């Protein structure tokens, strides 16, 4: 989406991405209110959970193949395994959904 103002323009992501971002922010703010202290940590758990990393790279005839995993979610999940808090776990699972979306984009695109 593009809004032109004379020589300047504001570029926004597609509408479905904008709506998803608004929903994610709504849930994160809602879950952060369930914490008594350090409410901002929910956002950090979400952001760390969205990190994906290649663990294997191989050369093929068609090009380079990379095997990606959601490493951020694995790290956060192992950290929260003993320190279980529902809001932080929900935020990390939401981050996993974004990481899976990024994985799909890596393999399809």
Minimal CA–CA distance to 41: which of 82, 81, 76? 76
82 alpha-carbon distance from chain centroid: 23
- 73 contacts 96 by C-beta, under 8 angstroms: yes
Q: Checking DSSP bridges between strand 8-11 and strand 2-5, what pairing results, if any?
A: antiparallel
**Spatial separation of the C-alpha atoms in residues 94 and 32, rounded to whole Å:** 13
- pTM for this structure? 0.84
Range scoring the smallest mean pLDDT among 1-15, 22-36, 64-78: 1-15
The mean predicted confidence, pLDDT, of the chain is 92
The string of pLDDT tens digits covering residues 36-70 is: 888 899 999 999 999 999 999 999 888 898 999 99
- pLDDT cut 90: percent of the chain above it: 70
């Amino acid at each position: 989406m593009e809004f032109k103002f004379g020589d300047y323009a504001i570029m926004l992501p597609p509408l479905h991405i904008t709506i998803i971002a608004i929903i994610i922010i709504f849930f994160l703010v809602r879950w952060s209110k369930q914490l008594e202290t350090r409410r901002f940590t929910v956002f950090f758990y979400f952001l760390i959970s969205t990190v994906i990393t290649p663990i294997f790279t191989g050369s093929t005839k068609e090009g380079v193949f990379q095997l990606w995993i959601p490493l951020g979610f694995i790290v956060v999940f192992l950290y929260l395994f003993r320190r279980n808090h529902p809001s932080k776990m929900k935020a990390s699972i939401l981050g996993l959904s974004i990481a899976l979306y990024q994985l799909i984009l890596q393999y399809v695109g």
